[in-house]
Structure 1
Amino acid sequence: MNLEDHLYQLGLAAERFPKYLKGKVKGFLIPTPSNNPPSLRLSHRIIKGKRFTIHELISLHLQLCFVTYLAINFVIVFLTGTPLYLLAVSIPYFLYLRHFLIRYGNFLIEEKPYRIFYYGISAISFLAFLGYSLLELASPEIYHYYVYVGIIALAVLLFRHYFKATFGRDYTYGTVEEVKGDMVRVFIHDDMAANIKPGFYWLPAVEEAEPGRVVKVLVEDRTFRSARPVRILEVYLGQSSQSSTEPKEETE
């Protein structure tokens, strides 16, 4: 390829770049649900070798994004104390969070609780860090800090109460993996509404609980800890799936 060809290709790329960039920006700001799941390489590496689904991968990705956001804000507030830096981090974070949930939220078993939780807790975190940085600029008395911490704690408790009252439930769904004597091994997905971690749990056996069947499981709530599965409430006959925990028609 001679110099003229190189220059032609360079000019063609320069001509197409604005349209390409416009499409990317539009796709980011105005996302649409995707038919293909995200790759999430970091989440794959963290839970490599474990039998989790795309639902768990997305949930872990959201957790990692939020923890990273908290860590960056913490560094900004306690090293620089500049509110503008918080805005510079928070605006891209909230745009990405919105983009990701709209784009891939349909791969979550129940999307709305995750969306409300991460929007809510992220907003509270942003306001907490922003308020603290503004408070630092005012150089107030020590009791002002105590009052401020109390306000943030109250906001967190109120949000927790709202979330539990709106989405909380004392049951979840799982898939029977193994039956051994009077116990069954059940796989339960990450379930924010029931506040339970994903994994395999041994529960007392019930009739019709056979490998592959979806079951409804009673969970015991624990303060400031994840809930604990207690026993099987129902067995859903004719349904065998580990990618969905929503029951279908026939029950026992």
Structure 2
Amino acid sequence: MDIEEVLYTVGEGVERLVSVLGRATRNLLKPQKSETPPKFPISSRIIRRRNYTVHEMMSLHLQVVFFLYLAANALAVFFPHALYSLLILGFIYTIYFRWVTHRYGDYLIEPEPYTFFYSVASAIAFFAFLGFVGLRKLGVEVYYYYAYIIAITGLVIIFRYLFKSRYGRDYTYGVVEEVKNDLIRVFVHDDIAANVKPGYYWVPAVPDVEPDRVVKLLIEDRALKGAVPVRVLEVYLESQSSQSSTEPKAETE
């Protein structure tokens, strides 16, 4: 092979590489809606049940990525070039979060509350760590750190209040799995707006309730446990599997 053929082969390889990188960059910056559900093999291993829903997977993955981002930031503030580290981490996280929510957001039962919550929470975390780095550079007294922590805590409380006032509700939806005497067992998806964790709950039975029916459930906040369903408010006409969306499609009986 002469030098001309070598250069031609190298040129083709570079052209293919540039093309692949260009497509990857376009897909990352301008993601298209996916027609197939996400898999997220690492996050899926955290869920021990085999019959988890796509909504659960999406919600869990957003949580995992967010907590990894917090942990990375907590380590980065002690790096020699902490400011640049935080900026790079924030850029990578923002690009990935935007890609996930744009490409797979439709697989969340109610995407807007999740997008809003993690977007604002991530911004608060970024500026909180950024401020901590600034205080370290200024070399202030320790009581400034205490005041800063109190300020960030107050900001988090305000955000929680704003989120609840905008998206919060005192009900959620579930699918009846079992009717047993005066009780029914319902499956409830993860519901960030109602602050309900995914799982199975027992609530008092009501007339006309049958397995696979969608029900609207009143929830009750409990300290340190989040909210839990306590009773059925409405029974909907359609029947469906608990592994599909629990959003009702018909009026109540």
What TM-score, normalized by structure 1, do the two folds share?
0.93
How far off its partner does 1:84 sit?
1.2
Counterparts in 2 of 1:54-93, with a 5 A limit? Answer: 54-80=54-80, 82-93=82-93
Q: What amino acid maps onto 1:198 in structure 2?
A: P
Q: What amino acid maps onto 2:194 in structure 1?
A: A
Counterparts in 2 of 1:133-212, with a 5 A limit? Answer: 133-212=133-212
Which residue of structure 1 lines up, in the alignment, with residue 235 of structure 2? 235
Residue 249 (str. 1) matches residue 236 (str. 2): no
C-alpha separation in 2, matches of 1:127 and 1:135: 12
Seen in structure 2, the aligned counterparts of structure 1 residues 221 and 3 have a Cα distance that, compared at 3 Å, is farther
How far off its partner does 1:79 sit?
5.0
Counterparts in 2 of 1:25-104, with a 5 A limit? Answer: 25-80=25-80, 82-104=82-104
C-alpha separation in 1, matches of 2:10 and 2:189: 50
1:97-137 C-alpha deviation (Å, 9 max, x unpaired)? 01110110000000000000000111001111010011111
How far off its partner does 1:223 sit?
4.3
Counterparts in 2 of 1:215-226, with a 5 A limit? Answer: 215-223=215-223, 225-226=225-226
Say whether the 8 Å CA contact 2:164–2:193 is kept in structure 1: yes
Say whether the 8 Å CA contact 1:214–1:241 is kept in structure 2: no
Seen in structure 2, the aligned counterparts of structure 1 residues 207 and 244 have a Cα distance that, compared at 3 Å, is same
How far off its partner does 1:212 sit?
0.5
How far off its partner does 1:245 sit?
1.5
C-alpha separation in 2, matches of 1:91 and 1:38: 23
What TM-score, normalized by structure 2, do the two folds share?
0.92
C-alpha separation in 2, matches of 1:47 and 1:145: 38
C-alpha separation in 1, matches of 2:173 and 2:80: 46
Could you say what secondary structure the match of 2:112 adopts? helix
Percent identical across equivalent pairs? 49
Residue 16 (str. 1) matches residue 16 (str. 2): yes
Give the root-mean-square deviation of aligned CA atoms.
Answer: 2.0
C-alpha separation in 2, matches of 1:125 and 1:43: 22
Say whether the 8 Å CA contact 1:239–1:247 is kept in structure 2: no
1:49-75 C-alpha deviation (Å, 9 max, x unpaired)? 343200000111011101111111111
How far off its partner does 1:146 sit?
1.8
Higher deviation after alignment, 231-240 or 44-53: 44-53
C-alpha separation in 2, matches of 1:172 and 1:98: 27
Higher deviation after alignment, 234-243 or 152-161: 234-243
How far off its partner does 1:3 sit?
10
Structure 2: tracts of 5 or more residues without a match: none
Say whether the 8 Å CA contact 1:81–1:136 is kept in structure 2: no
1:167-218 C-alpha deviation (Å, 9 max, x unpaired)? 0000000000111111111000000000000001111111111111000011
Structure 1: tracts of 5 or more residues without a match: none
Higher deviation after alignment, 167-176 or 71-80: 71-80
Which residue of structure 2 lines up, in the alignment, with residue 113 of structure 1? 113
How far off its partner does 1:40 sit?
0.7
Say whether the 8 Å CA contact 1:220–1:227 is kept in structure 2: yes
Say whether the 8 Å CA contact 2:179–2:211 is kept in structure 1: yes
How far off its partner does 1:158 sit?
0.8
